[in-house]
Amino acid sequence: PTPLPFAAVDLGASSGRVMVGHVGPGTLGLTEVHRFPNTPVRVGGTLHWDVLALYRGVLDGLRAAGRATGGRLASVGVDSWAVDYGLLDADGALIGNPVHYRDTRTEAVIAKVAETLPPSDLYAATGLQYLPFNTVYQLVAAQGTAALAAARGLLLIPDLIAYWLTGEAGTELTNASTTQLMDPRTRDWARPVADTLGIDLSLFPPLRRPGDPAGALLPEVLTETGLTGPVPVTAVGSHDTASAVAGVPARGERFAYIATGTWSLAGLELDAPVLTEDSRRANFTNELGVDGTVRYLRNIMGLWLLQECLRDWEARGQTVELGELLRRAASCAPLRSVVDAGDPAFIAPGRMPERIAEACRGSGQPVPRDAAETTRCVLDSLALAHRRALMDAQRLSGRAVDTVHIVGGGAHNELLCRLTADACGLPVVAGPAEAAALGNILVQARTAGTVIGGLRESRQLLCETQGLRHHVPSGDIRAWERAEARLAKEEQPCG
Ligand code: ADP
Ligand code: LRH
């Protein structure tokens, strides 16, 4: 049979993209039809997402998808970054611009939440790692605001985009699991947590699971994009990391993944959550994945550190080209200085080269002297954080791995992949860079009956069709152990 065309809308923190995947038996071809920047806007002292600009990018992308497929799509799926949301009024209109998770407004309520609900109880109920921007903190910070008082609905970002495309509201499960308002054992709302914190769960529309139907493109969207209806929209792993993990080309079960883009999400795919106190102290999260899986992982700052350095250098008039910078970084002395790439102190934007230099100075290490050395410091630090996360994940879950998969934009970064293989002492399989779009499309293709089976069969198809690069560990693992000792400080969960 002729392969069917599916469109993935994948909104990352650094860029949004619309990809078309042609899927058939033994076939999975992916084409990027549109990519657009995702540039936050600070206004009135608050950092926002420019959500209408993103929606315009989605419409432009669907129009481009239509041009690439003769106007016909078998289905569309939407995924994006986690935790953030838009509020809807009684007419279903968006109230204000969604706030960016890097905004600092939650700082004021972290201690208050911990007093109301001890961190160990919150973890036992939700299994979510402490991150200051978890939706739970955002909603407590919003208490008492006119916007929340007027709200009659709350949609997480991919659900908001899907609502605008279809007119139908739902809360997709994998992304709902990043709110810290879900119980990973029941895969349903953690009602006692919401009640204790005064959060109204009725704002969330009913839950949907990846693979569920989620409406069809509205007539106005068809007109705007030139697509021929009906075009169904399918719920996918709407958390981009859930789709990225579904897009990992793993053979068998003994694998770890690192989804590296703006963030590095490093961990394991499990059948059940790990809710122990040790796990909480190590700041591991139990996010929900497709097909009843648990994504047991730690958030690491990721290439955000490098993106922010580049933004800073460019603002100072320095021209820095990423490829050239990475080539120079590859020739720098290894592990000269490392920073804790898990430290939430790096979450906020601004002054990144200076903050990295301060962290090196503060821990008695040499300060990077130029852009290449700063880049090497970032990549060594990320590889070290990848190593720590994967060793901790294995210890805490009792699951051993023999292969590390790197997916996401960072899979293009050969130096990062090589350093990660060296630091972990494990072979690294790099690619696909667009795993989130592929995971998104594979879930749609399963609903359409184009791919038969579950994650195993989808991954088999990825192995057969995607170009992958292999990195064998080399070098001295003791150098990484010594660098780790330099950063011996324990992970610092809240409380
Ligand atoms: P997000 O989904 O969070 O927006 P991506 O997965 O698109 O992020 O990854 C973006 C990052 O990938 C960039 O910041 C960059 O560091 C890295 N990247 C993308 N393309 C390349 C490339 N050709 N070479 C090296 N790094 C790359
Ligand atoms: C990656 C990601 C990650 C979340 C963060 C907010 O894009 O979704 O999984 O923790 O953004």
Q: Which residues contact 321 (CB under 8 A, 6 or more apart)?
A: none
How many H helices and E strands in the chain? 19, 22
Using a 6 Å cutoff on CB, does residue 410 contact ligand 1? Answer: yes
Flag whether the pTM goes above 0.90.
yes
Using a 6 Å cutoff on CB, does residue 322 contact ligand 1? Answer: yes
Q: How many angstroms is it from 242 CA to the middle of ligand 2?
A: 10
Using a 6 Å cutoff on CB, does residue 375 contact ligand 1? Answer: no
Residue indicated by tokens 């998104």: 440
Q: Which residues contact 398 (CB under 8 A, 6 or more apart)?
A: none
Atom of ligand 2 nearest to the CA of 82: 8
Ligand closest to the CA atom of residue 305: 1
Q: How many angstroms is it from 215 CA to the middle of ligand 1?
A: 32
Please state, in angstroms and rounded to a whole number, the distance separating the CA atoms of residues 420 and 443.
29
Atom of ligand 1 nearest to the CA of 414: 25
| Catalytic (active-site) positions | 240
Ligand closest to the CA atom of residue 239: 2
ipTM for the whole predicted complex goes beyond 0.85: yes
Q: Which residue's CA is the nearest one to ligand 2's atom 2?
A: 81
Ligand 2, pocket residues at CB < 6 Å: 12-13, 81-83, 101, 239-241, 262-263, 265, 299
Q: Which residue's CA is the nearest one to ligand 2's atom 8?
A: 81
Q: Which of 263, 287, 298 has most ligand 2 atoms within 8 Å of CB, for mutation?
A: 263
pLDDT in tens, the chain (495 residues): 789 999 999 999 999 999 999 999 999 999 999 999 999 999 999 999 999 999 999 999 999 999 999 999 999 999 999 999 999 999 999 999 999 999 999 999 999 999 999 999 999 999 999 999 999 999 999 999 999 999 999 999 999 999 999 999 999 999 999 999 999 999 999 999 999 999 999 999 999 999 999 999 999 999 999 999 999 999 999 999 999 999 999 999 999 999 999 999 999 999 999 999 999 999 999 999 999 999 999 999 999 999 999 999 999 999 889 999 999 999 999 999 999 999 999 999 999 999 999 999 999 999 999 999 999 999 999 999 999 999 999 999 999 999 999 999 999 999 999 999 999 999 999 999 999 999 999 999 999 999 899 999 999 999 999 999 999 999 889 999 999 998 875 344 433
Please state, in angstroms and rounded to a whole number, the distance separating the CA atoms of residues 248 and 270.
14
Please state, in angstroms and rounded to a whole number, the distance separating the CA atoms of residues 53 and 36.
9
Q: Which residues contact 36 (CB under 8 A, 6 or more apart)?
A: 15, 16, 17, 53, 54, 57, 60, 61
- SS3 category, 366: coil
Ligand closest to the CA atom of residue 382: 1
